Structure 1
Amino acid sequence: MKPVVPLILTFSALFSSVSFAEVSYRIDLTDSQHHLAKVVVDFPQSANQHLKINLPVWRTGKYQVLPLADGIRYFSAEDETGNALPFKHTASGEWTIELEKPTSVSVTYQLYANQLGQRVGHIDATHAFLDASGTFVYSPEFKQQPISVALAVPDSWKSYSGMDAGELPNSFTANNYDVLVDSPIETGISHHRSFSADRRDYELVVWGEGNYDIEQMVTDLTKLSGQASTIWDGYPFERYVYMVHATSGASGATEHLNSTVIQRPRFSYRERKDYLGFIKTASHEFIHTWNVKAYRPAGLVPYDYQKENISDLLWIAEGSTSYFQSQLLLRAGVITAKEFFEDLAKRIVQSKNTPGREVQSVREASSSKWSSTGGDYAINHSANIYSEGYLTSLALDFSLLNDTDLEHSYRDVHQALYAQYQIPAGYSVSDVKQILKDLSGEDYQPWWQAHVDTPMSLDFSDLLDNAGLRLSYGDDSKAQAYSGVTLSGRSLKLGEVLRNGPAWNAGIVLGDEIVAINGLKVTAKGYEARIKDFTPGTEIVVSLFSDDRLKEVTLKLGEKQSGKLKLLSVKKPSRSQKAFFKAWLGIDWPFDKKGKLKDHS
């Protein structure tokens, strides 16, 4: 890195002609190959004795405290005449600057941004992804002031954001820091497309090379973006930006105010199953533009960037978003009925194989999300706000459809939340219950107690029968043995031991490494096939290393069905079942008279 003072002088000269808003950010990305940048922030005059400067300790969309300030070095502050101001690092993500007299303040620091997978900032020779939570400090004193952001970038780079463009190239403006922190910037060498849907403007920006078909992405994103009116009356944006990172070593996505960033392995687009992963993610994040960004639980309003924001309604914020994502794609014709059914069946199987759903309610899972670390303990003792929140939303949707004779569905709940509790309002549990009562005329407290406040147990066969669907492993399915463990990678070390499963009951624990069954060596590749050699109920002797000690354990094998769980038509669907199906998913009955899907997919 060049010496600090010369770089600051050069950097200041680069932007000497810029007309700044009351809080201005300038970031130099012209020497980016080592993931480094220089940031200057100009704050208006403060009459206080101290000016507090913060960097968030978490980013929106990830309910976890992160060490974001670890990427800041060479922090310094100057008054309006260029004199250095003393400061102290007073907390994680906090600096306190001492002021002897009223003055404007200029803060300078070096930024290291190499957290692509965390989606808080990544800078290299080809691009920079800048999420304000990991990039731009703020002062609580001036948090609501107008903001400008100016970037110095290589000549070949172009910059995109959900923020309004500034007067100069590679510059943006925002009404306040809350808008800035929810409007990431993608700048660099990328592919760009513009399109429109339902009188709204959209952009697709793809950084990185891979096996994606950008024209196919535009076609499907256009179809998806036109489906918002099936849930909500109106839009919280005029323009929306889909940012895609086709990369290596990072995956996931994050919703923002009127944009999203989606990360996928660069060669995970060509195969249909891989492409479905991308388009479902895009749908999920698009739905978040309403559910979380336009309205969200009261515990998250307003965002407090310096501590955890606790809510017991995250299952609605996340699980309901997961619930709607494939529905929008189905209505848009982007996915088939078969693909929708496969996704739902997979979620049902996942729930049945998660013992934690019997221990923790979605309410408790929501409020404890900030302290959840995942792993073996979580799958055995925790519910997941995404997957179990999806199924809770499914149950609530079916309950509303039945209670209102198909007049109202769970979509109407979210339209009501959007209409009544847009930011800066926030909704509570009692608000949701009131909406349910207004729609159905029923008191939903008993339902809430049974499905939200306590661990939920659903009879999926009875539930899906409402829509003329049944669950089946296939006519040739049979009972087969299983041990109740998941291997860790390609080794025989155990990554999961399911609570109350065969291995659990035999005293086998996480981290044990299996080496033989009935005295014969077993490999990771052949483990599952070896278990299937036995019949359910058979006792086998498992040789394993536990804490480096060799021991033998007698394990009585359990039972599971072979084959893949599928959703099929009931043998003679009634007119009312078909009507329920149409009210639920918005498409016509997809099966022919023989019970086969009409699309033949």
Structure 2
Amino acid sequence: MTTNSQAQNSANIQFQVSFTQPQAHYADVQMTITNIKKDEITVKMPVWAPGSYLVREFSKNIEGFEVANADKSPVAFEKIKKNAWKINTKGKTSVTVSYRVYAFEISVRTSFIDANHAFLSSTGIFMYPEGSINEPSLVTIIPHKNWTKVSTGLEPVAGKAFTYYAKNFDILFDSPIEVGNQDVFEFNAAGVRHEVAMVGGGNYDKEKLKTDMAKIVEKETAIYGENPNKHYVFIVHHYLSGGGGLEHLNSTVLGARRMGYTDTKTYKGFLSLVAHEYFHLWNVKRLRPVALGPFDYDNENYTTNLWIAEGFTAYYDNLIVQRAGFYTPDEFLSFLEGDINLVYNQPGSKIQPLSDASFDAWIKSYRPNENSSNTTISYYNKGSLIASLLDLAIIHQSKGLQSLDDAMKFAYLEYYKKKGRGYTDAEMKAVFEKFAGENLDQFYKDYINGTENIDFQKYLGYAGLKLVDKTRDSKDPYLGITLSRDGKSVITNVARGSAAWNDGLNVNDEILAINGDRVSDVLAYISNQELGANLDFLINRDGLIKTIKVTLKAVPNKNWQIEQLEKPTPAQKAVLEKWLSL
């Protein structure tokens, strides 16, 4: 095992990050490479951040790239790609690469620097020498004069202030860094020390968070039987209105509403976010699709299994919060209802299979447009539903002795612990078949690789539940548009198969009048019409005035609700009790 003192002597790559102009959103980075034995070195910057499946082109934020010899004389280099610089190192044993990074994008996956703090999302800050992903490195942070703290999952180097060791670049790139005056507190759970860095103020109760977050950690650790960390860091950024999270190897970055902690619904939602990102410690960061590691930081890393990696995690986040006693069983079922209605009513669910949604995340999920709801489905929502089906199937088949927990633990032990690699699609399918006790070829054909409507009645029936259609009178007229909220009646979405879709209303059309009437609330006007009514829409389309004739159709959407069967059998009651820990 490498000690800190050994690390200091063995790392041939050392970084120094400082902040001479934080108010202008810049980080100053120096990368010193020693013990050079090649005539040339190419340094590169990743183009994406693992866990966020979009090529973000981090090198676009680089400026002032320079290279110097040990005596500070300039060294020749050439930019050869969008994210790569080739350096002439012939006759040199060390060089220092200097560059600045502009960081002013608020999200959990991109760096942000201002006068108050610096959040460093490592893939957008640090370069690496090509071919040296497995090399160790040291990172020294020099906080701005007004800042006093650094929070990161990286291993601190003894005796050196704000200096950290990364065994390889995969670890460095998976370790965000918060620099500033964050409010830091700790709690212990599952034998792990947890650090929480609260950034940007808020009305949170530290003692309550310590207790409640610890419950989530314990519940999730119990599923897998072990916690893979000794130290874990939550970096929580507070905003007027914020959310989202991104998982890392032994840390996570969360977005939260600054004054939301005293609102019960918002607070439970925050705990669900904690549960989601923490569950990724196992599902994704260790139990992972084979394509997701080792990473190619230059290109997209394709997998058809994000519905497991993210969708199952989205299922477990609310389930864990319910197991911890924060959600009631009825509240958990209401989330399931929400996913059922979203997936059933989204036109894209009949167009894009779940496996394709995973594979095409790079070009569709993270790049939505006005037509996305008509052509795509979320691997989060539908993947969560698939998890619920398999959970119920396993509990039913095992007569309450096992659940999806057991399948996930088995896969974790088999592929991460025993084989030290990711799983293939076929291997994970075999795991589900093993625990569900049935062949899943048709299940995969219909629900994973196809677009058939899910038979919820079958799976909910295992737990003595049923899905009931509570849809209002289908004679309600339906236009099928979404309007902007800027005071103008501008169309922002047209639903596939709707009256607007069929008769030619377009996104960006401004509705000026209907049947000669100036209308301030278009949707209210439509609701008062008769089914089948023929309406003349006067529109402004790119400065041209047109009349579009539209015939109103019935509302196609369903409103599904989960209800209990009147007389569930003892076996059904047992499944429900196992599922929701009643």
| TM-score normalised by the chain length of structure 2 | 0.91
Amino acid at match of 2:563: L
Q: Is the 8 A contact 1:481 1:560 kept in 2?
A: no
Q: How far apart, in 1, do the equivalents of 2:37 and 2:92 lie? A: 4
User: Per-residue deviation at 1:542?
Assistant: 3.3
Q: How far apart, in 2, do the equivalents of 1:60 and 1:561 lie? A: 36
Q: How far apart, in 1, do the equivalents of 2:436 and 2:268 lie? A: 35
User: Per-residue deviation at 1:376?
Assistant: 2.8
Check 1:462–1:437 CA distance in 2 against 1; reply closer, same or farther (3 A cut). closer
User: Per-residue deviation at 1:242?
Assistant: 1.2
In percent, how many aligned pairs have the same letter? 30
Amino acid at match of 2:377: A
Alignment of 1:260-409 (within 5 A): 260-372=252-364, 373-409=367-403
**1:528 lines up with 2:535 in the alignment:** no
**1:101 lines up with 2:91 in the alignment:** yes
User: Per-residue deviation at 1:535?
Assistant: 4.7
**1:519 lines up with 2:516 in the alignment:** yes
What RMSD over aligned residues (CA atoms) do the two structures have, in Å?
Answer: 2.4
SS in 2 for 1:375: coil
- Matched positions, count: 566
Q: How far apart, in 2, do the equivalents of 1:437 and 1:429 lie? A: 12
Match of 1:110 in 2: 100
SS in 2 for 1:46: coil
Q: Is the 8 A contact 2:535 2:551 kept in 1?
A: yes
Match of 1:570 among 551, 559, 565: 565
Match of 1:419 in 2: 413
Match of 1:207 among 199, 206, 221: 199
- The gaps in structure 1 that reach 5 residues or longer are 1-17, 589-601
Q: How far apart, in 2, do the equivalents of 1:122 and 1:569 lie? A: 49
User: Per-residue deviation at 1:118?
Assistant: 5.7
Q: How far apart, in 1, do the equivalents of 2:557 and 2:36 lie? A: 69
**1:55 lines up with 2:45 in the alignment:** yes
User: Per-residue deviation at 1:402?
Assistant: 3.5
**1:507 lines up with 2:504 in the alignment:** yes
Q: How far apart, in 1, do the equivalents of 2:400 and 2:534 lie? A: 51
Check 1:68–1:195 CA distance in 2 against 1; reply closer, same or farther (3 A cut). same
Q: How far apart, in 1, do the equivalents of 2:263 and 2:481 lie? A: 29
- The gaps in structure 2 that reach 5 residues or longer are 1-7
Q: Is the 8 A contact 2:490 2:511 kept in 1?
A: yes
Check 1:84–1:30 CA distance in 2 against 1; reply closer, same or farther (3 A cut). closer
User: Per-residue deviation at 1:531?
Assistant: 2.8
Match of 1:582 among 566, 574, 577: 577
Match of 2:430 in 1: 434
Amino acid at match of 2:495: L
User: Per-residue deviation at 1:409?
Assistant: 2.6
User: Per-residue deviation at 1:560?
Assistant: 5.8
Q: How far apart, in 2, do the equivalents of 1:232 and 1:543 lie? A: 60
Q: How far apart, in 2, do the equivalents of 1:234 and 1:536 lie? A: 59
Deviations 1:214-258 (A, max 9, x none): 443333212211111342121221221111100257642111111
Check 1:528–1:459 CA distance in 2 against 1; reply closer, same or farther (3 A cut). farther
Match of 2:23 among 33, 37, 42: 33
Match of 1:78 in 2: 68
Deviations 1:441-471 (A, max 9, x none): 4332232222211124113344323222334
Q: Is the 8 A contact 2:390 2:432 kept in 1?
A: no
Match of 2:114 in 1: 124
Q: How far apart, in 2, do the equivalents of 1:151 and 1:20 lie? A: 19
Alignment of 1:105-184 (within 5 A): 105-117=95-107, 119-153=109-143, 154=145, 156-167=147-158, 168-184=160-176
Deviations 1:9-52 (A, max 9, x none): xxxxxxxxx97833211111254211112111112322222101
User: Per-residue deviation at 1:517?
Assistant: 3.3
Q: How far apart, in 2, do the equivalents of 1:231 and 1:408 lie? A: 11
**1:448 lines up with 2:439 in the alignment:** no
Q: How far apart, in 2, do the equivalents of 1:535 and 1:198 lie? A: 61
Q: How far apart, in 2, do the equivalents of 1:382 and 1:48 lie? A: 48
Match of 1:482 in 2: 478
Deviations 1:365-393 (A, max 9, x none): 11111111212322111222111221222
Q: How far apart, in 2, do the equivalents of 1:195 and 1:536 lie? A: 60
Match of 1:241 in 2: 233
Check 1:536–1:204 CA distance in 2 against 1; reply closer, same or farther (3 A cut). farther
Match of 2:489 in 1: 492
Alignment of 1:242-257 (within 5 A): 242-248=234-240, 251-257=243-249
Q: Is the 8 A contact 1:347 1:387 kept in 2?
A: yes
User: Per-residue deviation at 1:66?
Assistant: 0.9
Alignment of 1:530-549 (within 5 A): 530-548=525-543, 549=545
